[in-house]
Structure 1
Amino acid sequence: MRRFVGWLPALAVSAGVVVVFLCCGVSVRDLVVFGGYLGGGVALPGVLLWRALTGGRAWAGLEELAAGLAVGYAVEVLAYLPARAVGMPRLVLVPSVLVVGAFVVVPGLRRFWRHVGRVRESRWCGREGVPTWCGWALSGVVGYLVAWSALFLYRVPVGKAYVDMPYHLALLGEVKRQVPPTFPSVLDEALPYHWFVYAEMAASSWVTGIEPVTLVYRLSTLPMMAALVVLVAAVGRRVGGSWVAGVAAVGVTYFLFGPVLQDGVVFTTRSMFTAWASPTQTFGALLFAPVVLLLVSGVRGRGWVVLVLLVAVLAGAKATFLPVLLAGAVLVAGVRWVVERRVPGRWLGVAGLALGGLVVAQAVVFGRGTQGMEVAPLATMRVLWGVVTGVAQGESAVLPAEVGAGAVWVFGGLAAVQLFCFACVWGGVAGLGWRRMAEPDVLLLVGIGGAGVGAVLVLGHPAGSQLYFLESVRPYLSVAAVCGVVVAGRAWAGGGRSVARVVGAAVALGAGVAVVVAGGQKLLRGSVRIEADLGGLMWVVGPYLVVAAFVVLVVVTVLGATTVVRRRPVGPAQVVLVVVGVMAGYGVPASAVEVVRHVVPDEGRRERVVPRGGREAARWLREHSRSGDVVATDLHCRPVITPGCDSRHYWVAGFSERRVLVEGWAYAESTLSRAREYGGSYLSVPFADAARLAANDAVFAAPTRENVQRLAGEYGVRWLLTRVNPRLDGYAVLRFRNRAFSVYELPAG
């Protein structure tokens, strides 16, 4: 009975998930099959391997289940790659069957099936088991993420979902068809991208028979989201010493953001709400969390097998985690070398592993491509400045020349405010003190977090993808910050309730000041336009200078009064807690707005990404063509109000699961690598091969026998998908037509 009560939170949220999916169009058959495969084919072998290789006890707690799921995903992906390469993708099941069979047959492995009823010690997790209150708290966070996803994705018609969803669907279709994949919407374009999550989805689709659209738009990312919540709490509990610290770390990770003291000016601290919008980030975050859990627990022996496995898959799942891991390991190795005066072999090994993963990722997965990422100091600040001043993104790249000598002050000032916003969320790190800071687990977190912050300030990308570094390290900065508050709280003379009262009062005071300053700034600014000069900079920076000055005033006043009343000097712990409390309070109003906004139904007008009739036409094409057939279309640009071509157009490749000669090219390497050359937004960069695009579009605009034959003979095109176009009737065979779209077949050769 006790055991059942412990699982009630997970069972409750699982029941809610089932209801949500059923109400949002997922069939009972798909839910049952997906759950069966995820549980028996992915999680079960992963949990068994985690138990056996990390030396953990045989128990069925949430922490172990989440870590085992990550291991199971890693095994699944590594199994799918060769299985798909040899043309037998369902062989992906073989490793799972072998693992489970080995744990059934081998006597020495059978003990890992047994559930240990009493609580025991594990060198990886301390005292095993998740307290019931903690289970309810974590289930509440997962429930929030489910509600957000339901409101903004699950209940939204597929044709009106987030703009990048067809892109993810196209990549899944490509990886389902062949390995290694190419860019699906530009024929023969390389794909230097993190694509292993699509291998996981492709494996699920092959084994279960579930439609790729159901996996991408509904099922696949939710288990990853839920497991990550549990693992962040596990890392926080391991470093902070209690489940209270773990749950607090989850709260900071998901629900505390930097202050917004002026409308339209957001110094991002990057939320975790990209779970389904960026499956690559979600998958990478899940795989990285058990890596950190192993390292802060003191990985040894067979645990290195799990570490190598996870890092190997991270190289193709989301390689942005590897540089921050390398930075964290190097920091630990350097400090411990100085402190202990001996070579820290374990941490040098971790650094070597991360470096090796980076080399493999760059050479094999990315083919030495960069996807537009480059060293561009303060590029994030330049884009922000362009947004608040109304300067176009392309012009903001040359803005320093326009503001002359003031450029250093402008971007330096913006960077300082950005760091201040980071401190409002993660300022608790200051409470760690030197002794705790020098410990390997904390050093690792600080090194990981520092690398992410540094990447935001030093790197640039046409689509702002450097911000994913910050999102990647957000959980570990949050764990370090919470642990700093815990350390400072324990050092507070008197401790206990007095700490909670003072910190609570500081947070409330900071929140009140943030509301007043933001309201005052809004009244003062009115309709004033921020100019691209030092005066405009003061409009942006001014509110933050006010609150920074207020921090100093509060600290001096409160701590001075405390000294007088208590007749003894105030210690550094008190200073840290008051400052951290006030600064965190500044972020509370903006955080509350953001959190509520994500669970308030969006009843506004949604842009239609897939036009009516388009999905039907593409689906017909998938069912009546061969997997290697090439499609041509004259659909390249999304219907947007602004002038120019937004080439994030991927639904033809996505729903047909076929390669397209030229569809959308916004995320192609040939586009992103030229974005700087063209200056403006990467969305306005023209297609790299003008001759191919001209030959493609000529067939639809002015078809002739010659240009149709050229498309078939030179480029291997077999099918045309376009809006209803009677001009093609004499040159290709009409095979499908609805009110909006037609599909034509070209003669072979």
Structure 2
Amino acid sequence: MTLAAPESTHVRPPGSPGRGPGPGWAPALLVGAGTVAALLWCGVPARDLAAFAAYIGAGVALPGTLVWRALTGGGRTLAEDLAAGLALGYAVEVLAYIPARAAGLPLLVLAPPVAVVCTFLCVPRLWRHWRGAPGRERAPGWCAWALAAVVGYLVAWCVISLYRHPVSSAYVDMPYHLALVGEIKHHVPPTLPSVLGERLSYHWFVYADMAATSWVTGIEPVTLVYRLSTLPMMVAMVVLVAVLGRRLGGRWGAGVAAVGVTYFLFSPALQEGVSFTSRSMFTSWASPTQTFGALLFAPVVLMLAGGRRSWAALAVLLLALTGSKATFLPLLLAGLLLVVAVRGVVERRVRAEWPAAAGLTLVCLLIAQFVVFGRGAQGTTVAPFATMRSLWGSVAGIEMPELASVPAGPLVVLTAVHLFCLACVWGGAAALGRRALEPPMLLMLGIGAAGVGAAVVFGHPSLSQLYFLEGARPYLSVAAVCGVLAARRVPWPIVACLVGMGAGAALLASARDVAGDVLAAVVVPYTMLAAAALLLWRRGFGLAVVALLTGYALPESVRDVAAHVTPKEGERKREIPDGAMEAGRWLRDHSSPGDVVATDLHCRPIRESPCDSRHYWVAGFTERRVLVEGWAYAESTLSRTPLFRASYLDVPFADPARLAANDVVFRRPTAENVRHLAQKYGVKWLFTGRNPKLERFARLRFRNGSSSVYELF
């Protein structure tokens, strides 16, 4: 593997004039200006935007790009170097922040970027990396505009679905993300901030990035979580998918097509309310762990699948992946093992780099499981057909616990339909032919097969096994596009007609009223379409089948793409009361990071559940550990959830004695029970609504219209 680029015969010092701006600058500047305007319109302070851009640019992307170029020789375009460099910069930042925060010196996170930039400025041999590799390729103008349009669409989706809404009515998991940022801002190793002493068996490295950014820039964590942090990750991911598609497809059109399939092609939906999901990439802010892990994973695949490889860069990225998202290392290991197995059969020997990469991945996977997650599984278990069992419950109206005893028959049938729906999105991979035996393509197919297999084999109380499928989506999309290019024997006008025919057939099938039982009503429309595709396949029209399958997926894809940027009518339900953030920040500013808070707020204000314990905003706004707030995502809760027999939202708190001691202080306070809370659990503050009874036993320090903060005597 190459550790550095070949020496250049012509070296310019930093700042020397180079080539003029390429065609990509205009769309990049246009989208950048639009994004800044949108964020300002949504209330992000200009000072925060400037500080964030400066830190991510100079403190993460710049040193990451320089190191990426030095270790791998750089990519073919500036955009590739910046995107991969940003990923590597994030990895270095997180791995630097963890020991810095553990030592009590979080600003030491700046030491690596400062050292890198100074080194690359002071060492003449490294000056060439400021310009990148000679003979750099420029993406055509149409490609730059197409990718800019995708990024612009994603920004518009973020504005409509998150940015324009107040923090009080955002997605239910956002306070959880905020609480973890506050925890890791002050404590490493972290624990679950909403349950004092509970081990955090969760992928938390993205929150280390946000905590480091907050320390360096002074930006409030709520602004990073709800507005800024995932934006550069999302943009870089679009670029890396395009680069990988171009690298394996041999042309920029393949890169743009790979991005289009990755972000905008979804499974057909032939019956309202029944979705055989192919998982979209629209989790950028709802799941920052997935977004962060996907970005770190992409340059790993890029290096292994055709880029210039570096063991050092690979090791840093894999080590950062251990705590970024639990889904990616297993996917990579599966892909590498497929390469080793198939190439071993085909060539009767395997190049050492593939088993070496698999071994390094396995080591990092073991570190993740036994060090980062502490052997915790967060409720994930082997449960074949769990995804389809959940779907069948909603279709047939079967609820828990009866859902656990549904026979295997309908689940197998629904799984077959699900696989057909996935073929409508990624069926082009079947046309790869002999290209499927090439190591890079085997890696794509292995990652994809592992993602699909995990969605079928594993189960989770909140269907988190589907993140495996989402993680594999870009690589299945690249394989599908490459398959279409490898098999193209049909004129494009005919392909377009077949896509149109498929779309029409899907619309007709979805309009049919199928008589019979529920299973038949769901399965029959898909069976009709599958039969038409199979007839063409048996006649040898491979590309025609792919076009037809894509057409089946087209109507639902158009509806979904439009729906994501269509504002919903009416206001979202407010889940966080007015004044809660003000009270939480007052407590944060008047307490120490080691102080413990008690609260009687455990359940979200909804009617659908007796106690939906996904309540995390007290820990989020105060940045303090809470004795007991919400416990839905605790390992002690998810590990006790019997799959399909009860919802994890209905599982009671694991330590009822602690919960009782906590709540009695707020319901029937006495000097004795308040003293017990302080002495046994170290509680110093009480956070609640209006509760005059507490004033006899604790000092009222803050009160507004919704919240009160008391300090124990």
Quickly name the TM-score band, shorter chain normalised: over 0.9
The corresponding residue for 2:29 is: 11
CA distance in 1, matches of 2:398, 2:688: 37
**Structure 2, unaligned stretches of length 5 or more?**
1-18
Deviates most, 678-687 or 408-417: 678-687
Match of 2:101 among 84, 89, 94: 84
CA distance in 1, matches of 2:706, 2:568: 28
The corresponding residue for 1:20 is: 38
Q: Does 1:55 align with 2:73?
A: yes
Deviates most, 383-392 or 179-188: 383-392
CA distance in 2, matches of 1:148, 1:502: 33
Contact 1:456 1:467 (8 Å CA) reproduced = yes
The corresponding residue for 1:439 is: 438
CA distance in 2, matches of 1:677, 1:20: 42
Structure 1 counterpart of 2:210, one-letter code: M
Structure 2 counterpart of 1:221, one-letter code: T
CA distance in 2, matches of 1:8, 1:678: 52
Change (3 A) 1:335 1:677: closer
The corresponding residue for 1:648 is: 614
Change (3 A) 1:114 1:499: same
CA distance in 2, matches of 1:727, 1:397: 46
Q: Does 1:578 align with 2:544?
A: yes
CA distance in 1, matches of 2:637, 2:49: 39
Contact 2:23 2:144 (8 Å CA) reproduced = no
Match of 1:542 among 524, 531, 534: 524
CA distance in 1, matches of 2:360, 2:574: 45
The corresponding residue for 1:700 is: 666
The corresponding residue for 2:3 is: none
Contact 1:74 1:309 (8 Å CA) reproduced = yes
Change (3 A) 1:170 1:546: same
The corresponding residue for 1:430 is: 430
The corresponding residue for 1:236 is: 245
Shift in Å, 1:395: 2.9
Structure 2 counterpart of 1:481, one-letter code: A
Q: Does 1:308 align with 2:277?
A: no
CA distance in 1, matches of 2:575, 2:440: 45
Structure 2 counterpart of 1:45, one-letter code: P
Q: Percent identity?
A: 63
CA distance in 2, matches of 1:429, 1:4: 33
Cα offsets for 1:626-655 (capped at 9, x unmatched): 111111011100011214110000000001
The corresponding residue for 2:376 is: 369
Contact 2:403 2:644 (8 Å CA) reproduced = no
CA distance in 1, matches of 2:448, 2:535: 29
CA distance in 2, matches of 1:590, 1:372: 32
Trace 1:604-619 onto structure 2 (pairs within 5 A).
604-619=570-585
SS state at 1:743 partner? strand
CA distance in 2, matches of 1:631, 1:608: 24
Shift in Å, 1:536: 2.3
Cα offsets for 1:203-231 (capped at 9, x unmatched): 00000000000000000000000000000
The corresponding residue for 1:515 is: 507
The corresponding residue for 1:358 is: 365
CA distance in 1, matches of 2:59, 2:491: 48
Q: Does 1:173 align with 2:172?
A: no
CA distance in 1, matches of 2:345, 2:22: 49
The corresponding residue for 1:119 is: 135
Shift in Å, 1:60: 6.3
CA distance in 2, matches of 1:636, 1:52: 51
SS state at 1:201 partner? helix
Trace 1:91-130 onto structure 2 (pairs within 5 A).
91-114=108-131, 119-120=135-136, 128-130=137-139
Shift in Å, 1:549: 2.1
CA distance in 1, matches of 2:45, 2:594: 30
The corresponding residue for 1:328 is: 335
Trace 1:720-731 onto structure 2 (pairs within 5 A).
720-731=686-697
SS state at 2:87 partner? helix
**Structure 1, unaligned stretches of length 5 or more?**
121-127, 400-406, 493-497, 560-571
Contact 1:387 1:393 (8 Å CA) reproduced = no
Contact 1:722 1:741 (8 Å CA) reproduced = yes
Contact 1:392 1:680 (8 Å CA) reproduced = no
Shift in Å, 1:136: 0.7
The corresponding residue for 1:472 is: 471
Cα offsets for 1:81-124 (capped at 9, x unmatched): 111011010010000011111111112111111367x734xxxx
Match of 2:701 among 735, 740, 745: 735
Q: Does 1:714 align with 2:684?
A: no
The corresponding residue for 2:235 is: 226
Q: Segments of 4+ in structure 1 off by > 6 A?
A: none
SS state at 1:676 partner? coil
Structure 2 counterpart of 1:430, one-letter code: A
Contact 1:383 1:393 (8 Å CA) reproduced = no
SS state at 1:644 partner? coil
Cα offsets for 1:165-197 (capped at 9, x unmatched): 000000000000111100000000000100000
Trace 1:250-261 onto structure 2 (pairs within 5 A).
250-261=259-270
Contact 1:394 1:681 (8 Å CA) reproduced = no
Trace 1:194-233 onto structure 2 (pairs within 5 A).
194-233=203-242
CA distance in 2, matches of 1:707, 1:349: 59
Trace 1:116-155 onto structure 2 (pairs within 5 A).
119-120=135-136, 128-155=137-164
SS state at 1:646 partner? coil
Structure 1 counterpart of 2:601, one-letter code: L
CA distance in 2, matches of 1:4, 1:250: 21
CA distance in 2, matches of 1:56, 1:299: 8
Structure 2 counterpart of 1:691, one-letter code: A
The corresponding residue for 1:568 is: none
Structure 2 counterpart of 1:323, one-letter code: P
CA distance in 1, matches of 2:121, 2:707: 55
The corresponding residue for 1:124 is: none
Count how many residue pairs are aligned between Structure 1 and Structure 2. 695
The corresponding residue for 1:562 is: none
The corresponding residue for 1:495 is: none
SS state at 2:708 partner? strand
Cα offsets for 1:486-523 (capped at 9, x unmatched): 0001xx2xxxxx521121111100101111111223xx
CA distance in 2, matches of 1:174, 1:719: 17
Trace 1:182-197 onto structure 2 (pairs within 5 A).
182-197=191-206
SS state at 1:675 partner? coil
CA distance in 1, matches of 2:307, 2:131: 25
CA distance in 2, matches of 1:418, 1:354: 30
Contact 1:159 1:611 (8 Å CA) reproduced = yes
SS state at 1:631 partner? strand
SS state at 1:316 partner? coil
CA distance in 2, matches of 1:693, 1:129: 61
Shift in Å, 1:6: 3.1
Match of 2:272 among 258, 263, 266: 263
CA distance in 2, matches of 1:508, 1:368: 50
Shift in Å, 1:723: 1.1
Structure 1 counterpart of 2:520, one-letter code: M
Trace 1:332-351 onto structure 2 (pairs within 5 A).
332-351=339-358
Structure 2 counterpart of 1:284, one-letter code: G
CA distance in 2, matches of 1:683, 1:234: 42
Shift in Å, 1:341: 1.4
Structure 2 counterpart of 1:723, one-letter code: G
SS state at 2:323 partner? helix
SS state at 1:720 partner? strand
CA distance in 2, matches of 1:336, 1:68: 31
